[in-house]
Amino acid sequence: MLKINDINVFYGAIHAIKGASLEVNEGEIVTLIGANGAGKSTILRTISGLLKPKGGSIEFEGRDIAGLPAHEIVKCGISQVPEGRRIFAEMTVLENLELGAFTRKDKDGIKEDMEMVFNRFPRLKERISQLAGTLSGGEQQMLAMGRALMSRPRLLLLDEPSMGLAPLLIKEIFAIIQDINKAGTTVLLVEQNANMALSIAHRAYVLETGRITLSGDAKELAASEDVRKAYLGG
Ligand code: ATP
């Protein structure tokens, strides 16, 4: 479904991604794990069109999307939940969700998806008119995920959904990610919480200072001595 081949990404003179390749197959949850500053968010931002790669290619469903503007990439069927949620604090829950559907014109479909989001996140329905900035951290994560789902993506990019959340809420959010995947959405999940990410992913990649150093079946990586030492606290 998504094929990234040998991309390089720079911030000015800083060479953040050094020839990375990875693949996500339809139906999978794939996780990209790695330490602070390894370049995980940079890869997601490059897929979603916020950064342009130098060289290499990014193919989505057979089409080269590298360098397309971000709104075109949303139209292709890819939606990102950014790190730190980035919800619109001064707007209501409903307005945030409506904005997630900005590329669509099918009113009936949008209504259907709004219902789907409220079924998945009943707490958002209870708070439909509340200003998003007054939601709790977990509710804001739910809103950011709901907003991304409103574009009806086939590939959902999640950047550190566990950030700043209590363990119980992390469990809840990860269970929802699994449900979304089971309902047919493919997921690329970036996480520092490697334990949780590997527990729900089918496959995983390890990123170290801009390079993919390991990849494979998530259960096998979780059991590997190197990964345990470096990312799973022994
Ligand atoms: P974290 O888990 O801490 O979010 P990450 O793996 O997502 O880390 P990135 O945010 O992708 O890492 O950053 C990769 C590298 O690029 C880091 O060295 C970072 O300092 C650098 N970097 C990120 N954004 C910029 C920017 N806007 N300008 C310059 N350098 C940047």
pLDDT per residue rounded down to tens, the chain (234 residues) = 999 999 999 999 999 999 999 999 999 999 999 988 999 999 999 999 999 999 999 999 999 999 899 999 999 999 999 888 889 999 999 999 999 998 888 999 999 999 999 999 999 999 999 999 999 999 999 999 999 999 999 999 999 999 989 999 999 999 999 999 999 999 999 998 999 999 999 999 999 999 999 999 999 999 988 888 777 765
Relative to the CA of 45, which ligand 1 atom is closest?
11
Instruction: Answer whether 192 contacts ligand 1 (Cβ < 6 A).
Output: yes
Distance CA 31, CA 200 (A): 9
Residue-level pLDDT at 25: 98
**CATH code matching the domain that covers 1-77+156-234, chosen among 3.40.50.300, 2.40.50.100, 3.40.50.10330, 3.30.70.260:** 3.40.50.300
Residue nearest to atom 29 of ligand 1 (CA): 11
Give the pLDDT of residue 234.
54
The confidence score (pLDDT) of residue 38 equals 94
User: Which residue, judged by its Cα, is nearest atom 17 of ligand 1?
Assistant: 37
Ligand 1 lined by 13 (C-beta under 6 Å): no
pLDDT at 233: 67
- pLDDT for 111 equals 95
Residues in the chain: 234
ipTM of the complex: 0.92
Q: Please state, in angstroms and rounded to a whole number, the distance separating the CA atoms of residues 136 and 77.
A: 29
Minimal-distance CA residue to ligand 1 atom 31: 11
CA of 39 to the centre of ligand 1 (A): 6
Domain chopping of the chain, boundaries: 1-77+156-234, 79-152
